[in-house]
Amino acid sequence: MDQLLKDAEKIKSLEIQGASNVASKAIDFLSSYAKRLKSKDIEKCFENLYKARDLLISTRPTEPAMKNGLKFIMNKLEQEKDTCIAEYISDIIEKYKNQYYDMLQNSKKRIAEIGARRFPAAGKKFIVMTHCHSSLVTGILLEAKKKGKDFKVINTETQPRLQGRKTAQKLLNAGVEVIHVVDSAMRWAVRHYQVNLILIGADSITSEGTIINKIGSRLLALVAHEEHVPFYVASPLLKYNPETNLGILETIEMRDPEEIWENPPEGIEILNPAFETVSRRYIDGLITEAGIFASSHVSTYFAKYYPEMV
């Protein structure tokens, strides 16, 4: 368990970032923990695995892709409980870990292909804006570049951890022209550069079609609404949280105030919300492995594509 606690801290401390990366690492950590289990008692093994699953889930409250992956593995394991032997549990977990990993990777590839089709053919001026760092959004942009689409990207620095720099660097390495702005210049950039499309990722999607993403996302959505710019969200269906269909509310993670100010004056209260909601009314389309549709339809598509996780 000591090693698992160290692994879990890597997720909690944001050493591991990005919803897909967090999900992949979490199922890796569960698999590694299973390999270290020495008990031959099947009930004891399952008890320890559920504790490990809950520990990993607790590290980041707004990560459905991670929750869905861990629950997928344990649900599959439960189906084989009556026939499996304790010493082979790690092999079973490894099999389903790889299956879930393939689901994530295949969905990302499909989303990149679908999203790139929203870009016009080469020769037409096209400006895209994004916020924070999303491997899915970056994947769409790189796929569009690969297909010869002609576009420029405006991205925000994304305070307080400056994840926008990661997006900018990846795009620059691929030969994409990037304009980097401070978060508070969102509206100015949209108007000044006549942005054609705004594209962000998501950390979570609720049953009502509300998405939860990095703080500042709703501000950008409101700018898009005001300036009549299409606003799209790229996300695999695996970031849908089925529990919200039962009335459970997503929580907004509050992070360490020291991310904002390391040595603040005494008496000041510093708040550091990591995420915020974007209502479905501001989302023109959700780009998923199932295609592009209104975000309010996410539960229907999730049940169709991943019935075992409903």
pLDDT value of position 246:
65
Average pLDDT over residues 8-12: 90
| CB count in 10 Å sphere of residue 163 | 21
Q: Alpha-carbon distance 143 to 137, whole Å?
A: 10
pLDDT value of position 179:
98
Residue type, 39: S
Q: For residue range 171-181, what is the model confidence (pLDDT) as tens digits?
A: 999 999 999 99
Residue numbers annotated as active site: 132, 203
Percent of the chain with pLDDT over 90: 73
Q: For residue range 190-238, what is the model confidence (pLDDT) as tens digits?
A: 999 999 999 999 999 999 999 999 999 999 999 999 999 999 999 999 9
pLDDT at residue 137 is higher than 80: yes
- Residue 105, token pair as written in the block: 């990777």
Q: For residue range 51-98, what is the model confidence (pLDDT) as tens digits?
A: 999 999 999 877 889 999 999 999 888 888 878 787 788 888 999 999
**What is the crossing angle of helices 19-36 and 89-116, to 10°?**
170
pLDDT at residue 170 is higher than 80: yes
Mean pLDDT of the chain: 92
Average pLDDT over residues 142-150: 95
Task: For domain 2-109, give the fold.
Answer: Four Helix Bundle (Hemerythrin (Met), subunit A) (1.20.120)
pLDDT value of position 26:
94
Residues of the chain with CATH 1.20.120.420: 2-109
Residue type, 248: I
pLDDT value of position 162:
95
Q: Alpha-carbon distance 22 to 214, whole Å?
A: 15
Average pLDDT over residues 17-38: 88
| Assigned CATH class of 118-309 | alpha beta
Residues of the chain with CATH 3.40.50.10470: 118-309
Q: Alpha-carbon distance 305 to 167, whole Å?
A: 29
Average pLDDT over residues 134-162: 96
pLDDT value of position 131:
98
pTM of the model: 0.89
pLDDT value of position 206:
93
Q: Alpha-carbon distance 181 to 197, whole Å?
A: 16
pLDDT value of position 247:
67
In what helix (H) or strand (E) does residue 170 lie, and over which residues does it extend?
helix 164-173
